[in-house]
Structure 1
Amino acid sequence: MQVHPRGLLNSALEVFDRLGMTPWADRAGSELTATGAQDQGPRAGQGAAASLTPQELQIARLTAQGLSNRDIAAQLFLSHRTVGYHLYKAYPKLGIASRGELKERAVSLGL
């Protein structure tokens, strides 16, 4: 019997959402999108973070934890300039203008 990865990822995404396991739900959602499935849009409970791409979300979370662009870049195997670009794109989507504001409002933004 052959099992299709999309079915497993859909099931995992539903369970993770139901249990409020946001990081795992985000990962399952991004992996599901990587299989070619259409993005289902914002999920319940994500707040403003629902409008971010998976990469922007990951970088925004690390930024909210206080990491520098260089630290984030090293952790994600990216250029610090790429990290800056993703933050540049994420800030307007989140309705914020600075790292400090991101850190202060992380919980209310769904990060």
Structure 2
Amino acid sequence: MEILTVNGTALPAPNSYRVQLSDLDSEDTARTEDGLLVRQRVRAGVAKLSVSWAALSTEQCAQVLTATAADKFEVRYFFGTMRTAQMYAGDRTADLKAARNGQGVWEVTMNLIEY
């Protein structure tokens, strides 16, 4: 099963995969002087995927980085069932772990954050 696709392109299976759901509050959310929260949630369940790949070839590394380079893209991801969301990539890191005979082994990490 493919657990992560970007704009219809299946990415290699990540070694680490974490789904975080967050709420977004309005700018009117604050605490009163006696510490009580006055909350105005405007959106619930905004997804953030923290993913990493431990050993990608140079070609696979380029595929992952190219697929997540746009300002906005469609992501299908697994979270009990397959879900679809418009996302963008936060910081993307590619670390060269080994190189031999013109071939590289890369570790790639990034966050995919729902719009």
TM-score w.r.t. length of structure 2 = 0.28
Relative contact order higher in (CA < 8 Å, ≥ 6 apart): 2
- Which structure's CA Rg is the greater one? 2
